[in-house]
């Protein structure tokens, strides 16, 4: 793999996942781990909640519900049949997971992050550092 592809591919993946985040809207339900844009910044939901109209539960005002989301590692969508290395981070059904041990997600083995906790660590409950 060339140096350019080692640098460009992760940048493309990071930028595509950031742009995949939707804008935050009052009055809608947000699942734990969901990523949104608000006032030019990206945030991740710390818990599932309804953004009640008039409650001011936006990502800037409700620190108990939202944390700034920083892409310090590329994050990919989990895929069956793919090889995963220890420490790699993936997204699955709106939640983030880290690979506990290297493995190949064998087709039909049901080794997805929800069904195989020996292979995956949910990152939802990890405390993020505050700025």
Burial of 84 (0-12, 13-18, 19+ CB in 10 A): buried
Contact indicator for 65, 57 with CB cutoff of 8 Å: yes
Instruction: Determine how many CB atoms are found less than 10 A away from the CB of residue 130.
Output: 7
Q: Whole-prediction pTM value?
A: 0.44
Rounded CA separation 20/2 (Å): 27
Element (H, E) at 44: strand 41-45
Asked if pLDDT for residue 26 goes beyond 70, the answer is yes
Query: If you average pLDDT over residues 33-48, what whole number do you get?
Result: 84
Q: What is the pLDDT of residues 1-14, one digit of tens each?
A: 554 444 444 444 44
Please give the average per-residue pLDDT across 52-66, as a whole number: 93
Q: What is the mean pLDDT of residues 58-79?
A: 80
Dihedral sign (CA 85, 1, 3, 96) = negative
Residue that the structure tokens 């990152």 belong to:
123
- For residues 44 and 110, give the distance between their C-alpha atoms in angstroms, rounded to a whole number: 27
pLDDT at position 116: 96
* pLDDT over 70 (residue 28): yes
Give pLDDT tens digits for 91-119: 898 888 888 999 999 999 999 999 999 99
Structural domains of the chain, ranges and CATH numbers in brackets = 3-68 (2.10.10.20), 75-122 (2.10.10.20)
């Amino acid at each position: 793999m060339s140096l350019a592809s080692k640098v460009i591919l992760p940048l493309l993946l990071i930028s595509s996942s950031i742009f995949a985040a939707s804008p935050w809207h009052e009055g809608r339900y947000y699942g734990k781990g969901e990523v949104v844009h608000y006032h030019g910044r990206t945030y991740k939901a710390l818990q599932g909640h309804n953004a009640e109209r008039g409650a001011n539960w936006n990502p800037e005002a409700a620190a108990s519900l939202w944390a700034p989301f920083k892409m310090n590692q590329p994050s990919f969508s989990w895929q069956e049949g793919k090889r995963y290395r220890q420490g790699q981070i993936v997204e699955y059904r709106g939640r983030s997971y880290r690979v506990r041990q290297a493995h190949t997600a064998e087709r039909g083995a049901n080794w997805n992050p929800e069904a195989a906790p020996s292979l995956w660590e949910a990152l939802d409950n990890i405390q993020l550092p505050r700025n």
